[in-house]
Amino acid sequence: NAGVTQTPKFQVLKTGQSMTLQCAQDMNHNSMYWYRQDPGMGLRLIYYSASEGTTDKGEVPNGYNVSRLNKREFSLRLESAAPSQTSVYFCASRRDRYNEQFFGPGTRLTVL
Amino acid sequence: SQQGEEDPQALSIQEGENATMNCSYKTSINNLQWYRQNSGRGLVHLILIRSNEREKHSGRLRVTLDTSKKSSSLLITASRAADTASYFCATDARGDGLTFGKGTHLIIQP
């Protein structure tokens, strides 16, 4: 099992460009999450999907959109990137609410 | 907003010693989880303790939870160089995602 995979690993964008971060899990988990981690900080929740077909905003959703493509895949889109979105992005999944989460290796994004 | 706050922010100890990290939080929770993050890597789940539990063990890890004080502690016994990492507590209040603290950076000196 690969667990949670994320692509790409690194990305550099110019202000105003768009991109989609991909996430997939092979553990048959129902819930999936996107977090961002800024230097010296803990993770903050951007969006989550409690089950296939549903998505909800987290703590810091502005400037992002998500798509739960199917049970395995959950993508995060930046429509018009801004320097404030420079961060490391982590995808996570878990079987159900109130369980432990499994994290991907992260995508390091720099917006110039 | 950060729900959990770890203390200390950084901790340096000798190999073989015990390391204790504390976490305080603000609202009622269903469970509290501890994660480890090695530099430049993703987070790895260590232990989950539910609000009706007071103590939990996993190998060299011991976690306590005091819901009346809204606090938790993580004890790592007989530390090893490989334990060098950042440790985060995360609270799970409504099952819609975790709220993380800023972490404790632990350095184990050989």
> Mean per-residue pLDDT for A72-78?
98
Residue A2 predicted with pLDDT over 90:
no
pLDDT of residue A95: 95
CA distance, residue A80 to nearest chain B CA (Å) = 24
Q: Which of A45, A98, A102 lies at the smallest CB-CB distance from B45?
A: A102
Contact across the interface for A42 and B48, Cβ inside 8 Å: no
Nearest to B97 by CA among A64, A61, A70: A61
Q: Which of B30, B45, B88 lies at the smallest CB-CB distance from A98?
A: B30
The 3-state DSSP class for residue A93 equals strand
pLDDT mean across residues, chain A: 96
CA distance, residue A109 to nearest chain B CA (Å) = 13
Residue A60 predicted with pLDDT over 80:
yes
Contact across the interface for A90 and B43, Cβ inside 8 Å: yes
pLDDT of residue A1: 75
CA distance, residue A91 to nearest chain B CA (Å) = 9
> Mean per-residue pLDDT for A15-42?
95
Residue A15 predicted with pLDDT over 70:
yes
CA distance, residue B1 to nearest chain A CA (Å) = 8
Compute the distance between CA of residue A107 and CA of residue A93 in angstroms, rounded to an integer: 16
pLDDT band at B3 (very low <50, low <70, confident <90, very high): low
- Other beta carbons within 10 angstroms of residue B6's beta carbon come to 25
Percentage of chain B exceeding pLDDT 70: 96
Contact across the interface for A105 and B95, Cβ inside 8 Å: no
The predicted-structure confidence for B27-63, as pLDDT tens digits, reads as follows: 999 999 999 999 888 999 999 999 999 999 999 999 9
> Mean per-residue pLDDT for B65-80?
97
pLDDT band at B5 (very low <50, low <70, confident <90, very high): confident
The 3-state DSSP class for residue A27 equals coil
Contact across the interface for B42 and A56, Cβ inside 8 Å: no
CA atoms within 13 A on the CB side of A77: 7
pLDDT band at B1 (very low <50, low <70, confident <90, very high): very low
- Provide, as residue numbers in chain B, all residues whose Cβ is less than 8 Å from the Cβ of A101: 33, 43, 45, 98
> Mean per-residue pLDDT for A36-43?
89
Contact across the interface for A104 and B42, Cβ inside 8 Å: yes
